Each structure stands twice: as structure tokens, then as C-alpha cells.
Amino acid sequence: MGWKFAVIVLLLAVVMGYVFSLILTPTLKTETPDAGDGWWAPGAPQSSGSKLEQDTSLRKFTVNVSNDLLADLNLRIRNARLIEPLDNSAFEYGFNAGYMRHLQQYWLENYSWRDAEKRLNQFDQFLTNIEGIDVHFLHVKPKLKPGQKAKPLIIVHGWPGSVYEFYKILPMLTDPTSHGGSSDDFFEVICPSIPGFGFSEAPHKQGFTAAAAARILNKLMLRLGFKQYYAQAGDVGTAITVNMAIMYPDNVKGLHNNDLAQVSLKSFVYPMVASVWPSFFLPKEEERNALLPLGERISFVIAELGYMYVFGTQPDSLSMALNDSPMGLASLILEKYSSWTNRNWKKLEDGGLTQAYSMDDLLTNVMIYWINGNVASSVRLFKEEFGASAKGYPTMYASHVPFGYACFPYEFIGTTDWLMKVFHPRILHFSYFTTGGHFPAFQVPALLAQDIRDFARKVEAL
């Protein structure tokens, strides 16, 4: 009877898995949704007859902050009213208050914004007006030999990131032969600051969603002469680029992400079932590592999404405090660079921050939010995505452009190629990594650059 019982259990497990797969797989629309249009400047757009008057010029941009702003920053850092940490609390309560005093001293005595400006200005930067607001972007061109071609690529940051996240990976994409790539791997890279982030102007009206950002960034690529291009992103940028692929399938030649914008009920229920018999339901070790242990992953997500609940409901309230205190702003942003890079670093007194990044690089990213005073406009995007203006295209429509995904072990939610195929039927490329977290371009740029190259080769082979 023992072997018969085992066979029955096995058959039931197979049937249950198949039934769960059918029931929990969403039915997605396949047509292309209407992209619409928008205007984000104050007031109504100016028009001449039936034609909208728009300045489509590209204006050179250079980062140059006034001495007065830096003097004010220095004073605020020096006079910051800090809190006292609990004994042995590490980063379990957020950014460790004791380590914040070390950060304060470093910011005052060792960090140089003028040196950071030189780093920021090493690549060509521009502003152009789209839908009434100025959009900032880097445009980094490779040095090509006769006969060589570069693939256009737009790479989009997230929150609390900026274009500075990509400064290490840019040479790897535009000069691949010096960084482990081949002569077929050249990219011409566009790195925009999402409107409301970095050096881009903030929308002045309600309703600026990820779909609106997608429309603006597609217009940017078309304005630069790229009728077809690759797109890559993580975090908020993932939601934007997935929208681009759904809304503009004729323009997006291939989409590569390293974070999820789409999670179905199956993404949660199947791992729950698999937890009962992991080796059967998830035969590949990489899949088990990506999805399990489920309880630990769910607990981490719940613990980490507090910021999204606040910014998704009352973004301006907390933003007023963050916009007034550079130390408070650094506390919020850098705490994410600790726990989202490696969830185990919460147990370290310094949050493990300088194990993956330099303090100068971390502070430069914070400074981009501070000098532009746009923490509020950046986090309002969360409220818009939770509100009535949100299109919800990523969970309603399937994307039919070639798709690639880089799965890093310390990302919020793990996934598999077959889970992603629900939303991306043309998935061509899926990679599991053993190191890296939520900010791979900033932390492990060589791994991400190689994965982008590998994906693009597969698309080109089509």
C-alpha cells in the first residue's frame, strides 16, 4: 500500500499544480492601449490655431550649484538635531542614529560636492521640453569605427535613485571592448531623469503616472531620432518601461528589467504550494532560491513597504520634513541602500553601506535630491499610481516585445521565467545571479551590463 499511496499523492500534486496554474493565470488584453497625451506645465498649453506651440530644441545642460545653496546645506548639516540610538539596534529601527553622527562628520569634513559636479558633468547632458516641462537626460555616444553600429538604449532609474546610479555602467555599455564585451555590443545610451526627479522639471498638475512618464520618454527617444530602441530599468523605472513596451510596441525593440512591475496571484500562491514539496514543484535550485523561503520573503516585503504606504497616501506631509532637513533626507534614502542591497545588513551597525558603495557615491545621490528640492515631486508618483489616474496597464495588458530579466538574490520579490511569461509571452532571456540587490547598476554594474549585452544579442538574432 505504501507505494500506491505515494503514487496517488504524486498524481494529486500534479493535478493540483496544473489546476492552480490555470486558475491563477490572469487573462490579459493583447491590443495596444491608447497612449493619450498630456500637459504638465502650469496653466493651459499655448496654441497657434489648431497647432500646439512647443519648443523641441535640445539645450546643453551642466550641473553648477551656487555657493549660497552649499553654505545653507553645510549649516543645516552642522546644526542637525539628531536622536539617540537604542542599544544594539543596528539598522533594525531604520538608519542607525549612532552611525548618522559618523555620516554627519564625513559629509562636513570629507565630502566635496565640487568634485561630484566634475563627475556628473563628465557625460553630455541636455534639457528638452516635452508636454510643457523640461526633461533632463544624459546622452552618451560610443566611439565607433567605420562599419560599426550602436544600439540605442534608454535606461531608467527608480526611487530613491537618480541618473548617477548609471555612471559606472555607462562606459561598460558604450565601450564594451574595454569591459568584457565584443565589437557587436556597442550601445548609444540615453539616461533621463524621470520628470519630478533629479534635474528634470516636476509636473505642475495632478495625475502624472508611470504611463504618463512612459509617454514622455517615448517622445524623447523619437525626438532624438530613435524610431526603435532598447529599454532597461529597475524599481519605478520598471513600471515606466513596461508601460513603454505595452503602449509603444513598434518603438521598443526589446525590454530588459531587473525588478518586477507585474505580480499575479499565481506569483504568491504557487510558491505557497511549492513550499510543501519544494524539490517537486520547483525542480531547479535557482527557482527555489528565488522564491523560497516564502515566509521570510513576505515578511521582508511587508516590513519594507512602509514608505510606499505613506507616500501613496499623504506624500507632501513627510516630504516637507525631508525637504527641510538634509540629515533626515539622507536617513531615509540611505536606509534603503542598506536593506534593499542586502536584507541581512539590517543587523550591522553601519548597515553594510560601504560594503557595496562608497560614501561619496551615496551622498552624491542624496545631494541630487537635496539641491533640486524634489523629494516631494518624486514620491508623489506613488500616490498617482495608487489613485484614479493610474492606468494599470502592466497588470491588464501583455507585452509582446522581446523581453529579458535579470534576477538578483536580494531583490524584494523573486520570480522565474515561467511566471514572467504570463506578462511577457516573448521572453527570450532570464538570468539568475548569486549576488546583487535592488540597485545592480550601482552595485554590480559589470554583471548587469553583461546581461544587457546577452539579451540584446538574442533580440538581434531574431
Burial class (CB in 10 A: 0-12, 13-18, 19+), 154: buried
| Residue 206 pLDDT | 96
pLDDT higher than threshold 60 for residue 331: yes
Q: What is the pLDDT of residues 61-78, one digit of tens each?
A: 999 999 999 999 999 999
Burial class (CB in 10 A: 0-12, 13-18, 19+), 24: middle
User: H/E element holding 246?
Assistant: helix 236-247
By percentage, how much of the chain surpasses pLDDT 90? 77
Q: What is the pTM of this model?
A: 0.93
3-state secondary structure 107-172: HHHCCCHHHHHHHHCCCCEEEEEECCEEEEEEEECCCCCCCCCCEEEEEECCCCCCHHHHCCHHHH
User: What does the pLDDT average to over 33-56?
Assistant: 81
- Contact yes or no for 158/233 (Cβ under 8 A): yes
| Residue 54 pLDDT | 80
The larger pLDDT score, comparing residue 11 to residue 92, is at 92
pLDDT higher than threshold 90 for residue 126: yes
How far apart are alpha carbons 365 and 367 in whole angstroms?
Answer: 5
Q: What is the pLDDT of residues 257-278, one digit of tens each?
A: 999 988 878 887 888 888 888 8
CA 347 to the chain's CA centroid: 25
How do strand 59-61 and strand 51-52 relate by DSSP bridges? unpaired
CA nearest to 338, candidates 86, 96, 97, 107: 96
Whether the CA torsion 417, 423, 429, 431 is positive or negative: it is negative
| Residue 38 pLDDT | 95
Q: How confident is the model at residue 44 (pLDDT cuts 50, 70, 90)?
A: confident
The amino acid present at 21, given as its one-letter code, is S
Q: What is the pLDDT of residues 128-147, one digit of tens each?
A: 999 999 999 999 999 998 98
| Residue 265 pLDDT | 80
User: What does the pLDDT average to over 20-44?
Assistant: 81
Q: How confident is the model at residue 3 (pLDDT cuts 50, 70, 90)?
A: low
* Least confident range of 17-21, 315-319, 356-360, 363-367: 17-21
Average pLDDT, the chain: 92
pLDDT higher than threshold 80 for residue 12: no
Beta strands in 371-444 (DSSP E): 403-407, 427-432
User: What does the pLDDT average to over 201-206?
Assistant: 97
| Residue 263 pLDDT | 82
| Residue 280 pLDDT | 86
For 201, other C-beta atoms within 10 Å of its C-beta total 21
Q: What is the pLDDT of residues 142-186, one digit of tens each?
A: 999 898 999 999 999 999 999 999 999 999 999 999 998 888 899
Burial 37-70 (b: 16+ CB within 10 A, else e): ebbbbeeeeeeeeeeeeeeeeeeebebebeeeee
Spelled out in words, what is the top-level CATH class assigned to the domain 58-461?
alpha beta
pLDDT higher than threshold 70 for residue 20: no
The larger pLDDT score, comparing residue 269 to residue 420, is at 420
Cell digits of residue 264: 499575479
Whether the CA torsion 49, 50, 53, 57 is positive or negative: it is negative
| Domain ranges (residues) in the chain | 58-461
| Residue 7 pLDDT | 45
Q: What is the pLDDT of residues 347-399, one digit of tens each?
A: 999 999 999 999 999 999 999 999 999 999 999 999 999 888 888 889 899 99
| Residue 447 pLDDT | 98
How far apart are alpha carbons 229 and 438 in whole angstroms?
Answer: 24
| Residue 173 pLDDT | 98
* Least confident range of 12-21, 23-32, 323-332, 428-437: 12-21
